[in-house]
Amino acid sequence: MGGGLEGPQKSNGKGRELLLCVLPWPKNAGDKILKEIEREYPNLDVHYFEDSPNKDKSKNTTVPEDLQQRAKVMATLSWLPPNVQAAPNLELIQFFSAGTNHIAQHPIYTDSEIPLTTASGVHGPQIAEWVIMMNLIHSHHYPRYYELQKDRKWENYGAEGRDVRDMVGQRVGVLGYGSIGRQVARVAQAMGMDVIAFTASPRESPESKKDNGFIVPGTGDPEGSIPSAWYSGLDKDNLHKFLSQNIDLLAICVPLTEDTKHLLSTPEFELLSKSNPHKTYIANISRGAIIDQSALITALEKEQISGAALDVTDPEPLPKDNPLWTAPNVLITPHISGGTTRYAERAFQVLKENLGRRKRGEKFVNLVDRKRGY
């Protein structure tokens, strides 16, 4: 814990390469894949440090300078050497997060060309379940019945029950058709929903619609065949065209960049309201700043949208006195939709894939484009 070496370490003989892992899981969380990596790469030394959780500021993970100097490949969630000079031999940094915006001001991000890769793709199953779960909780009026259960009251709101719209024939708009959005689409389609997708760049050919990132087997939309329509563009006109398509469930899955900050504000909520008489339900699992939060509160109060499920807010943690807590028809969870007992194992699978690509001289999977920010 807190920076101690986990398990026996191999020698640091000449000619050997070092994989440095600094992660907030115990080593046994990814032991299965780590052992596969060690068998496949017998010339690789693995040093593992369990990083302190972000909330525990009293503990700081200390990685010896000689290991930072030797490291060829690094696996991390957020810990990094202080600068490029501290880790001159790094040829790959595998992040165990979906994005890298949390380290975008770090010198290794801004002042180096070390390839950075993410764990994008490992979050799809659990986050898609969260999105569909929250939509069902809302549409079936479950919060009211949960309160009745706590009070031991058996009250049948007959009219409310008749007001439930099941998901068959409804439309889900997936704003950001990456690995998470594709799994939302897969589950939504299985429930009888129509799916439309929005991406930053056009996806006009079958090849461009494919998912070239890491895919959890049996999930997602590898060929990009699920959406009945695709929309694209970073300008407001194209975004508004997408939002005008009578969307019942809007799943926000775009990364946070300068282009996407406050992507949804008053004009967008007004447009959603006009385009769907049933009112759109919004689920945000991306980053809180994608939405103009004050505009969202107003849209909820004016009933321009039917409600919102938020796993992310701006800021985080959300202050106790923030009016979002008491806005009507809002459900808030503390950035937990990506959690699963399989997380570390799947992220190590991405690392294993990239070690293979490095050996073969191929392009890394989930390679970060620093200019685009993801």
pLDDT, tens digit, for every residue of 21-68? 999 999 999 999 999 999 999 999 999 999 976 545 456 789 999 999
Q: How far apart are CA 315 and CA 334, in angstroms?
A: 11
- What is the torsion angle, in degrees rounded to the nearest 10, for the CA atoms of residue 24, residue 220, residue 366 and residue 77? -10
pLDDT of 157 = 65
Structure tokens at 15: 């000619």
Are 236 and 288 in the same domain? yes
Is 287 one of the annotated active-site residues of the chain?
yes
pLDDT at 101: 86
* Same domain as 153, residue 233: yes
Token digits for 7?
Answer: 């398990």
Domain coverage including residue 279: 124-332
Q: List the structure tokens of 40.
A: 């496949």
Distance CA 338, CA 284 (A): 12
Which residue of the set 278, 316, 362, 370 is catalytic?
316
Which pLDDT does position 14 carry in this prediction? 63
The fraction of the chain above a pLDDT of 90, given in percent, is: 87
- Structural domain contains residue 272: yes
Asked if 284 contacts 256 with a C-beta cutoff of 8 angstroms, the reply is no
| Cα dihedral 190, 332, 141, 145 in deg (nearest 10) | 120
Residues 192 and 209 in one domain: yes
Residue 180 inside a domain? The answer is yes
Whole-angstrom Cα distance, residue 76 to residue 97?
8
Note if 335 is an active site residue: yes
Among the listed residues 335, 342, 357, 358, the single catalytic one is 335
Average pLDDT, the chain: 93
State the residue for tokens 């079958």: 206
Q: How many CB atoms lie within 10 A of CB 263?
A: 21
Q: Would the pLDDT of 155 be above 60?
A: yes
| Active-site option among 203, 287, 346, 353 | 287
Name the domain count of the chain: 2
188, amino acid identity:
A
6 domain-assigned:
no
b/e sequence 44-56, b meaning 16+ C-beta within 10 Å: bbbbbbbbbeeee
CATH number reported for the structural domain that contains residue 116 in this entry: 3.40.50.720
3-state DSSP assignment of residue 43: coil
* Residue 49 belongs to a domain: yes
pLDDT in tens, 116-143: 999 999 999 999 999 999 999 999 999 9
The answer to whether residues 191 and 298 belong to one domain is yes
